[in-house]
Amino acid sequence: MNWTPWLPLRALSGWTPRDLNRDLVAGLTLAAIAIPEQMATARLGGFAPEIGFFAFVAGSVAFALFGANRHLSVGADSTITPLFAGGLAVLAASGSPHYLALASVLALMVGLIVILSGLFRLGWVADLLSVPVTTGFLAGIAVHILVSQLPGLLGLPAENGETLRRIGEIAGSLHLTNPWSLALGLGVFATVFCAERISARIPGALIGMVLATSAVAVFGLKHRGVEVLGALPNGLPRAGLPLASPSDVQALVPLALLIAIVVMVQTAATSRSFAPQPGDTPDVNRDFVGVGAGSIASGLFGAFAVNASPPRTAIVSQSGGRSQVSGLIAAAIVLALGAFGGGLLANVPQAALAGVLLFVAQHILRWKVFANVYRQAPVEFGLILITMAAIVVLPIETGVAIGIGLSLLHGIWTATRTQLIELEQVPGTSVWWPPSEPVAGKQLPGVLVAAFQAPLSFVNADGFKRGFVDLVDARREGVKLVVLEASNIVEIDYTAAQALIDTITHCRRAGAIFAIARMESLRAQAALERFGIADLIGPQRIFHSVDAAIRALAPDQHPQQQDKAK
């Protein structure tokens, strides 16, 4: 392996002092956005707010060292926090020392998996979740966030347990709602919502929390039942390996794999959406290494797994950030607040954090995707609903596993539906095309040209063979030449190779010559050689175009030859 591309500080390459002003503005903006968000996300997972600060610092510094994207922001993330919080709650009481230790171990495991995926260039793993399944997954996560934050918003005692049971208990306690808490939470939500509508660069969450905190102090709302964070402990975290038994590590393996997949999906999507420079190709695998290193650093400092954040990354890009220096500036500000400014956060109301997370919940609901999929692909809309229901009703890690399984099954099902298409010649051209309106194509006597518009694999091999047999046998006048138009066949596995051999044999028994045209994939060409199909057909019967195959093997039927005969 060539290790040169993996040298540290790639995301800072080309940086000059002239870029400092833009990075400073972007860093200040990012810090203003990150401070309330990281606190709220930490509380969502059952951690003290300062743990969110340390996760953000670890993720930002590690990604600046090992990542590639100049804008990507890494830290505590509301997408994966409900995942590991729900999984860890099964193994330990939320907030207990054992819970915190397991969270750190999980962060190390997730980080290692994501790093190895980057080193071995497994970026394709990020494509395991289709858009409908991802949309259903995010919708389910949004419901979890909403249910978890309703007690804080309403000033009710926190609820634990299954989602549906918690909803029932909250509904039964609505008459105990604290109106001051509700007003503060909805006020913060409205502030963030309106600020984003004006400009994403406005730190609406920070403004809302400052206003809510001021209201608590000025109107003495602590005496009216409004719960506040209280003074946070000052000081820096100490690095060290978390303590966990082998049985704990074993129990965390499935959860670590699921979270790692979600992290890779979101990191790849963020990296591709915010290319380092216009026209540049994002290095997804290198960004995996950076995000994975962030989780490991976070775990070593007693925090939890981190993830790439599309909204924060957009903030850095829109604020004119030039490099990861902006992330380092934001990390320094957040670290200073976490280490020395705990007293400043004493009067922050819990309802304000709930308001921030309610905004996050509605933000990750992809309403436009819901509508488009419902209108354009009703079957795939069912995937959204099933995934969402699984995430909400079942243990959250089970729901994610079901979503991944549904995505893979849908891909396999789509491949199995691929059918062989008999092509027609477009009049006056050498182009062969599927039957279409308004211009009707034509077929040549004794010539069958068919295309298969998918990779040939075990899931569709039998359908491919039966399709060819049916087309050959359906020709009453008999087929003298069969041409497989293979421009879309990019891969051939062993099972499909045997089906192709059987097809060739059947055509020969029917008295037809079998040829292949336009097989452009190098992998498919190698498969022809590896499975002996190229020798079976003969190199002289593999062509660059359908027209060339007909001209060479059925010259009497070629239009040019027919014109000369006339």
Helix/strand/coil (H/E/C) assignment for every residue in 497-519: HHHHHHHHHHHHHCCCEEEEECC
Question: How far is Cα 498 from Cα 492, in angstroms, rounded to an integer?
Answer: 10
Q: What is the largest CA-CA distance in the chain?
A: 103
Number of Cβ atoms within 10 Å of the Cβ of 162: 13
Whole-Å CA distances, 278 to 24, 70, 274, 275, 317: 22, 12, 9, 7, 12
For the beta sheet containing 420-422, the strands, ordered from the edge strand earlier in sequence to the opposite edge, are 420-422, 447-452, 481-485, 513-517, 542-543
> Is 319:29 a contact under the CB 8 Å cutoff?
yes
Q: Of 486, 459, 480, 469, which is closest to residue 545 (Cα–Cα)?
A: 486
Question: How far is Cα 156 from Cα 149, in angstroms, rounded to an integer?
Answer: 10
> Is 454:471 a contact under the CB 8 Å cutoff?
no
Q: What pLDDT sits at residue 563?
A: 44
pTM: 0.78
Residues of the chain with pLDDT under 50: 1-4, 562-566
> Is 528:491 a contact under the CB 8 Å cutoff?
no
Structural domains for the chain: 18-366 (no CATH), 420-553 (3.30.750.24)
